[in-house]
Amino acid sequence: MVAGEASGDLLAGLLLGGMNARWPALRAFGIGGPKMAAHGFEAWWPHEKLAVHGYSMEVLRRYREISGIRQQLAERLLQDKPDAFIGVDAPDFNLDLETRLKAQGAKAIHFVSPSIWAWRGKRIEKIRRATDLVLCLFPFEPAIYAKQGIAASYVGHPLADAIPLDVPRAASRFALGLGTEHVVVALLPGSRRSEVQYIAPRLLQAAAEMHRQRPGLRFLLPVVPGFRHLIEPLRRQHAIDIDIDLLDGRSHEALAACDVTLVASGTATLEAMLFKRPMVITYAMHPVSWQMMKRMKYQPWVGLPNILLNEFAVPELVQGDGTPARLAQAAFDWLDDPTRCEALCRRFEGLHRELRCNTAQAATDAIEKVIAG
């Protein structure tokens, strides 16, 4: 298995829970993180090695290292072929690796369909060459692959199983030392180093603006393990006089406890949706990367909740639009309109139920058929 960042590690850890239940003697190894390790995964490289984003210098600077890791991993796997290889997201790394392994007779499964319905649709030809099966998280995805003769199964989203339908709001606030009277804003700047670099400053500046207007607000910022040394100087630079609780991990508690979240586009927006939280989605990257990505987009949304609902149900303030003042105002718009928040919560609950499919079991069933075939 290969998971290339914190969100992939989380998904792979949930999948491993189901696989270990089916195959108690399972041995799983490759590239992963602490969530996978908790299920007995043997990490030959840590998942942080692959956590890059964009299409310019931030990728090019590490291309040789990442390419070398892929080459070493492929050679090691081909010496002693596993029963199956499962690439968890990270398509730029995994699809090439899967293509090579499949060509040599290994079973290749890709867990999390690349967003070919949103951008880079031509990638479907690479997926055809690379995979024996695509495990899809969203119900509309298998039909796209069926039209191209590619095997795909809808397995739901494991986070929809892991996150309770009834949000543990009171318990999370108690665990974080918050009272019912506090108005709480969660800041989620992303799980990659480059995301923290580009997104954390605007979230911290937005927090400073919100504090200036409403000094009684409480702020939570869950820190990805190993990233505190990146966040601390940014906090001193952009929000030095603001009381922001830096949490080691604990993003789910922060989402359950908060009244609104300012969140980087990605898996965290889905988590916020499953916790039924009003949100403001933002994103930022290197300008060259942004121009390239804009040209490849097929639809107007970047956030998963909006994509699933086919509308701007929550605001998206991306790249130059995501100024601190606009982020702050969009958050205040939620805080000042409880009726709108309640309506959003009901829509998110419907999506939560639709995505709840016992993903670990459904995915393991599908994986077992590929191995048996």
- pLDDT (mean) for 17-40: 96
Q: Could you read off the pLDDT of 289-343 as tens digits, one per residue?
A: 666 666 555 567 889 999 999 999 999 999 889 999 999 999 999 999 999 999 9
pLDDT at 31 over 50: yes
Q: CB of 169 within 8 A of CB of 257?
A: yes
Q: Which pLDDT tens digit goes with each residue over 37-82? A: 999 999 999 988 886 655 444 556 677 888 999 999 999 999 999 9
Q: What percent of the chain has pLDDT above 70?
A: 93
Q: In what order do the strands lie in the sheet with 133-136?
A: 42-46, 29-32, 2-3, 85-88, 108-111, 133-136, 152-154
> Checking DSSP bridges between strand 108-111 and strand 133-136, what pairing results, if any?
parallel
pTM: 0.81
| R_g of the chain, CA atoms, integer Å | 20
- C-beta contacts of 79-82 below 8 A and 24+ residues apart: 81/105, 81/106, 82/106
Q: What is the mean pLDDT of residues 133-150?
A: 94
Region of residue 54 (left: phi > 0; alpha: psi -120 to 50; beta: else):
left
Residue 241, CB half-sphere, CA atoms under 13 Å: how many? 6
Ramachandran angles phi, psi of 243, nearest 5°: -80, 95
Q: CATH homologous superfamily for 2-156+357-372? A: Glycogen Phosphorylase B; (3.40.50.2000)
Asked if 255 and 230 touch (Cβ cutoff 8 Å), the reply is no
Domains 2-156+357-372 and 169-355 share a fold: yes
Backbone φ and ψ for 209, nearest 5 degrees, come out as -65, -40
Query: Domain residues of the chain, as ranges?
Result: 2-156+357-372, 169-355
Let me know how long the chain is.
373
Q: What is the dihedral of CA 103, 108, 111, 112, to 10 degrees?
A: 20
- The H-or-E segment that residue 46 falls in is strand 42-46
In CATH, 169-355 is 3.40.50.2000: yes
Q: What is the pLDDT of residue 64?
A: 83
309 vs 152, 270, 348, 356, CA distance in Å?
Answer: 22, 12, 9, 16
Residue 85's nearest CA partner among 341, 336, 367 is: 367
